[in-house]
Amino acid sequence: MRQEQRPIAAALSAVEFKFRFQMRDAGAQRACSVIIQAVTVHDAAAIFRTNWLTIEELARRSLAASDQGDIRLEAALAD
Long-range contacts of 37-40 (CB under 8 A, 24+ apart): 37/74, 37/75, 37/77, 38/14, 38/75, 38/77, 39/12, 39/13, 39/14, 39/15, 39/77, 40/12
With contact defined as beta carbons under 8 Å apart, do 59 and 24 qualify? no
Residue 59 is predicted with a pLDDT of 84
Q: Cα(5)–Cα(14) distance, rounded to whole angstroms?
A: 20
Residue 1 has pLDDT above 80, yes or no: no
Residue 78 is predicted with a pLDDT of 45
Residue 70 is predicted with a pLDDT of 58
Q: Cα(79)–Cα(70) distance, rounded to whole angstroms?
A: 28
Residue 49 is predicted with a pLDDT of 93
Confidence of residue 15 (pLDDT cuts 50, 70, 90): confident
pLDDT digit string, tens, across residues 39-71: 889 999 999 999 999 888 888 888 888 756 555
